[in-house]
Amino acid sequence: MPDMYSAERSRLAPGTRLNGIFEIDQRIASGGMGEIYRGHAIETGDPVAIKVMRTDLADNAMALALFRKEASALHYIHHEAIVRYYIFSNDPGTGRHYLAMEFVDGQPLSELLRRGPLSFEALRVLQERLAAGLSAAHQHGIIHRDLSPDNVLIPAGDLARAKIIDFGIARSTRLGDSTIIGSGFAGKFNYVSPEQLGLFGGDVTAKSDIYSLGLVLAECLTGRPINMGGTQFEVLEKRRDVPDLSAIDQRFRPLLEKMLQPNPADRPDSMAAVAAWRPRPEPSPRRPDRSSAPTPIAAATGNRSPATRPTASTKSKRMLGRGLTTVALLAGVGIVGLYVARVWVLPAPPAPPPPPPPI
């Protein structure tokens, strides 16, 4: 590693022009491969991100190949969720190799998660966005291999505009290709797949990005990463089983359990399938049919609902029926009255004749 003095001396000053195309505005970050600047296109003024290779790596063939690898990977991928590539070149004035890319004015997802976990709805947006972008990369035969919250930028806090960056260690799936640093490990330990550590044959395919994305999404739901690190033995052992997902929202758990299967063959078939996944709708509770029962208010007051309120004709029929019933009752009462009257007004039977006088 270069000392601080040589690193600062190698930085480009604001106003430096590269190939007469771009101009440096300010340094915004430092990485293992070089410095990252904000700049602009001289002719149009459009902002660009410029990754400039460190001077001490200029003669390093492996490092230069990594730079070219990133440029090649980005050149073939066109998706809104992936940072766009503009040009890879060597400026003769400074003697520096650089990669000019789309400038994304945002913060890493890792910083956003320091405020707390994402909501279920927010994660659904991010899941679909990132999976769709990685699916586009996979369709061009490019595997990211280093997906983590640090490599996802969120412009203005809008998850629907998330961008995946840093394809520097991407691997082509074309026959005979491998990463410049070898076909083995690449990426951050906490997010790498089992096969990146040599398990399950060590064959790194698009399924590896599915595993890493699963760990990123799990972190988004809890606000902290699943601990997949430790000693070399612990790192390997933690990848022989699905990690503990008991703290994960149960609506998302089926997807993450599938994405985090140790064996790549047991994970979703493709990143497109991850992007298309939807949680099962929760069944709505069954409500009792109360269409024929009066409401509590109606039952208490004797009122009927509009659906059971009698019509005018019904009322007429009911009144007529009640009238006839009343007449019948009155008639019955009259007959009984006459009968009773007759019983009480009939004359008493005649007295028997007196006995004859004695002889």
pLDDT value of residue 300: 39
Taking the C-alpha atoms of residue 255 and residue 37, their distance in angstroms, rounded to an integer, is 38
pLDDT at residue 247 in the model: 93
DSSP conformation letters of 88-156: EEEETTTTEEEEEEE---EEEHHHHHTT-PPPHHHHHHHHHHHHHHHHHHHHTTEE-----GGGEEEET
Residue 271: the pLDDT is 98
Q: Is the CB of residue 36 less than 8 Å from the CB of residue 166?
A: no
Number of other CB atoms surrounding residue 274 within 10 Å: 25
Q: Does domain 106-276 have CATH number 1.20.1440.120?
A: no
What's the first-to-final CA gap in the chain, in angstroms?
A: 172
Beta strands in 159-220, from DSSP E residues, in sequence order: 163-164, 171-172
CB 154 within 8 A of CB 90: no
Residue 68 to residue 98: CA distance in whole angstroms: 10
pTM: 0.71
Task: Supply the pLDDT for residue 169.
Answer: 56
DSSP 3-state of 210 = helix
pLDDT in tens, the chain (359 residues): 445 545 566 789 999 999 999 999 999 987 767 889 999 999 999 999 999 988 877 778 887 887 787 777 778 788 999 999 889 899 999 999 999 999 999 999 999 999 999 999 999 999 999 999 999 999 988 899 889 999 999 999 999 999 999 876 555 444 344 443 334 444 567 999 999 999 999 999 999 999 999 999 999 999 999 999 888 899 999 999 999 999 999 999 999 999 999 999 999 999 999 999 999 876 666 665 555 444 443 443 444 444 444 455 554 555 545 554 444 444 444 443 433 333 334 444 555 555 554 44
Which pair of structure tokens corresponds to residue 31? 């990485």
H or E stretch at 310: none
Alpha-carbon distance values, 328 to 315, 321, 331, 339, 341 (Å) = 20, 11, 5, 16, 20
Please answer whether residues 186 and 171 qualify as being in contact, where contact means their C-beta atoms are separated by less than 8 angstroms. yes
Three-class DSSP category at 182: strand
Place of tokens 């005979």: 176
Q: Going by DSSP bridges, is the β-strand pair 34-41/47-53 parallel, antiparallel, or unpaired?
A: antiparallel
Residue 14, token pair as written in the block: 């604001």
State how far the Cα of 159 lies from the Cα of 157, in Å rounded to an integer: 6
β-sheet with 163-164: strand ranges across: 106-108, 152-155, 163-164
- Polymer length in residues for the chain: 359
Identify which of 225, 245, 233 has the alpha carbon closest to the alpha carbon of residue 197.
233
- Strand, helix or coil for residue 228: coil
- Domain-wise residue ranges, the chain: 9-102, 106-276
Q: What is the pLDDT of residue 283?
A: 64
Per-residue pLDDT, 5: 41
Do 10 and 24 touch, CB atoms closer than 8 A? no
Q: CA–CA separation, 35 vs 169, rounded Å?
A: 17
Residues taking part in catalysis = 146
Q: Which regions of 127-285 does DSSP assign to beta strands (E)?
A: 142-143, 152-155, 163-164, 171-172
Indicate the CATH number for domain 9-102.
3.30.200.20
Distance of CA 114 to the CA centre of its chain: 19
Residue 235 near residue 229 (C-beta atoms within 8 A):
yes
Q: How far is CA 19 from CA 58, 171, 198, 201, in A?
A: 17, 29, 43, 45
